[in-house]
């Protein structure tokens, strides 16, 4: 069976229909009359709980109807285009095969697929990964540096403004700094499996359920030079500093979103096993690399790599993961935003 863009479009459409995401709930608080996301439970997702913030972001169709300045509409449209076709920045800001929407499905709106609008209502905020207060631009810049193996557009540039406008517009009507937990945020990990995640079992799941789209070697699939399925590892994928290399995040992404069109079809055990298999493969170096894996681990283990396999020895072939200086397609290690000092002069 050969999967084409058309198959993909059909899968996407049936998924969107299942989500029941049609209404533009300006401020869909839990318990509201319109019961947003009711289609999700049929797809194995939990229903919204009492006390959670439930927000249904507007769609691009809503944008055309929205009563906002046409100049702002243009900028939001540009942000949407950059988010779903980030490859247009390839060689400039992006040095792998990804679009933002490769991981943030449903154009960044889909619950349990790390919808992006929560960043717009929770930032500025302290971020454990870089140990200082980040704003929305810096959060977006983080996904460029790690997930796109690239270097972000400058703060305040047209592309950065367009991307942040798209994030903020998706949050239309949601409260700033909410005190409730946000329904469907992030890639929540499935419960700890009964058995320790296992490489060989993960490989079996991968062969049976994933290779048709992502290929044996994890490199994904191109047709007529155009990206169809993204790379899960190797030079075309995210680098070792990306959030999705943490086993629990990978398991959460996969359980909730893969195989495409069949969310929640893997058992929790299968999701952990195949995630473990995926995060045991090589990819471009973490831009925070100091030139030495042990030293890098010492610095970034506590805030990040304690949840990844960075520097671990792979059981079946004794390969030490991430012990290399390969930066993938880019010819630099550290993009301008990584390690940038912030607020050093402030006292308590
Ligand atoms: C390789 C997968 C991947 C790609 C590609 C990717 N991201 Fe992310 N993104 C993540 C992960 C993982 C998280 C963290 C989710 C979590 O906290 O569980 C995240 C989180 C975010 C958040 C914060 C969401 C929140 O709840 O606060 C924003 C905003 C974001 N990404 C924007 C982007 C943008 C913009 C791009 C493209 C430039 C992008 N991402 C590309 C994986 C990815
Ligand atoms: C029917 C095709 C298909 C199948 C089968 C499939 N995927 Fe995907 N996968 C996709 C597509 C397409 C995307 C990107 C989403 C987009 O661009 O809309 C994706 C994205 C991903 C990503 C995030 C982006 C990246 O490159 O890292 C991961 C991780 C992933 N898939 C893992 C898996 C795993 C593990 C399996 C098997 C359990 C699997 N996929 C099965 C089509 C598929």
The pLDDT tens digits of the residues spanning 115-132 come to: 999 999 999 999 999 999
pLDDT, position 7: 52
Q: What is the pLDDT of residue 163?
A: 98
Distance from residue 213's CA to the centre of ligand 2 (Å): 7
Segment 199-212 mean pLDDT: 98
Q: Please check the confidence at residue 29 and state whether its pLDDT lies above 80.
A: no
**pLDDT the model gives residue 18:** 45
Determine whether the shortest distance from the Cβ of 281 to ligand 2 is under 6 A.
no
* pLDDT band at 341; cut points 50, 70, 90: confident
Residues with Cβ within 8 Å of 256's Cβ and at least 6 positions away in sequence, in order, are: 45, 112, 113, 187, 188, 263, 264
The residue whose CA has the least distance to atom 28 of ligand 2 is 232
* Protein residue closest via CA to atom 34 of ligand 2: 210
pLDDT exceeds cutoff 70 at 157 = yes
Query: What is the percent of the chain where pLDDT is above 70?
Result: 90
Ligand 2 contacts CB of residue 102 (under 6 A): yes
Asked if the model's pLDDT at residue 320 lies above 90, the reply is yes
Q: Give the distance (Å) from ligand 1 centre to CA of residue 226.
A: 23
CA distance 310 to 319: 11
Reported as a pLDDT band with limits 50, 70 and 90, residue 5 is low
Residue 238, phi-psi category: left (phi > 0), alpha (psi -120 to 50), beta (remainder): beta
> How close is the Cα of 111 to the center of ligand 1, in Å?
13
What is the arithmetic mean of pLDDT over 188-199?
A: 97
Q: pLDDT tens digits for 221-278?
A: 988 777 789 999 999 999 999 999 999 999 999 999 999 999 999 999 999 999 999 9
Model pLDDT, residue 35: 77
26: pLDDT confidence band, cut at 50, 70 and 90? very low
> What is the band of 327 on the pLDDT scale with cuts at 50, 70, 90?
very high
Given a cut of 80, is residue 98 above it in pLDDT? yes
pLDDT score at 347: 85
Is the peptide bond between 124 and the residue preceding it cis, with omega within 30 degrees of 0?
Answer: yes
Q: Give the helix ranges, DSSP H, for the chain.
A: 5-19, 60-65, 70-84, 117-122, 136-145, 158-170, 199-209, 211-214, 247-257, 268-278, 293-300
What local confidence, expressed as pLDDT, does residue 223 receive?
Answer: 80
Q: Among 2-16, 26-40, 282-296, 324-338, which is the least confidently predicted range?
A: 2-16
**HEC-encoded secondary structure of 198-224:** CHHHHHHHHHHHCHHHHCCCCCCEEEC
Domains of the chain are 5-170 (1.10.760.10), 199-307 (1.10.760.10)
Beta carbon of 117 within 6 Å of any ligand 1 atom: no
Q: Which of 2-6, 76-80, 147-151, 190-194 has the lowest mean pLDDT?
A: 2-6
Per-residue pLDDT, 336: 97
Q: Is the pLDDT of residue 31 over 80?
A: no
Q: Is residue 100 in contact with ligand 2, taking CB distance under 6 Å?
A: no
Q: Which of 182, 232, 243 to mutate for ligand 1's pocket (most ligand atoms within 8 Å of CB)?
A: 243
pLDDT band at 284 (very low <50, low <70, confident <90, very high): very high
Tell which residue, 348, 299, 347, 292, has the closest CA to residue 323.
292
Res 243: pLDDT: 98
Distance 168 CA to ligand 1 centre (A): 15
């Amino acid at each position: 069976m050969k999967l084409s863009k058309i198959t993909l479009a059909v899968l996407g459409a049936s998924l969107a229909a299942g989500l029941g995401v049609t209404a533009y709930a300006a401020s869909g608080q839990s318990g509201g009359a319109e019961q947003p996301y009711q289609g999700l439970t049929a797809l194995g997702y939990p229903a919204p709980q009492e006390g959670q913030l439930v927000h249904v972001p507007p769609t691009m169709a809503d944008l055309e109807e929205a009563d906002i300045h046409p100049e702002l509409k243009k900028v939001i449209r540009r942000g949407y285009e950059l988010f779903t076709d980030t490859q247009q920045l390839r060689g400039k800001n992006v040095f792998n095969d990804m679009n933002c929407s490769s991981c943030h499905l449903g154009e960044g709106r889909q619950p349990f697929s790390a919808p992006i609008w929560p960043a717009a209502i929770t930032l500025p905020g302290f971020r454990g990964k870089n140990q200082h207060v980040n704003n929305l631009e810096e959060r977006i810049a983080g996904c460029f540096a790690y997930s796109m193996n690239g270097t972000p557009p400058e703060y305040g540039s047209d592309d950065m403004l367009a991307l942040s406008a798209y994030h903020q517009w998706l949050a239309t009507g949601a409260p700033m700094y909410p005190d409730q937990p946000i329904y469907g945020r992030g890639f929540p990990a499935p419960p700890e499996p009964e058995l320790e995640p296992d490489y060989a079992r993960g490989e079996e799941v991968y062969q049976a359920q994933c290779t048709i789209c992502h290929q044996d070697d994890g490199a994904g699939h191109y047709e007529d030079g155009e990206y169809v399925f993204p790379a899960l590892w190797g030079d075309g994928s995210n680098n070792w500093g990306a959030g999705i290399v943490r086993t629990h995040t990978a398991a959460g992404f996969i359980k909730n979103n893969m195989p495409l069109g069949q969310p929640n079809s893997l058992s929790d055990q299968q999701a952990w096993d195949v995630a473990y298999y995926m995060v045991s493969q090589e990819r471009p170096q973490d831009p925070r690399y100091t030139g030495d894996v042990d030293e890098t681990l010492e610095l970034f283990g506590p805030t990040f790599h304690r949840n990844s396999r960075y520097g671990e020895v792979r059981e079946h072939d004794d390969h030490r993961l991430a012990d290399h200086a390969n930066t993938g397609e880019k010819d630099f290690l550290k993009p301008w935003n990584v390690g940038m000092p912030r607020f050093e002069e402030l006292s308590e």
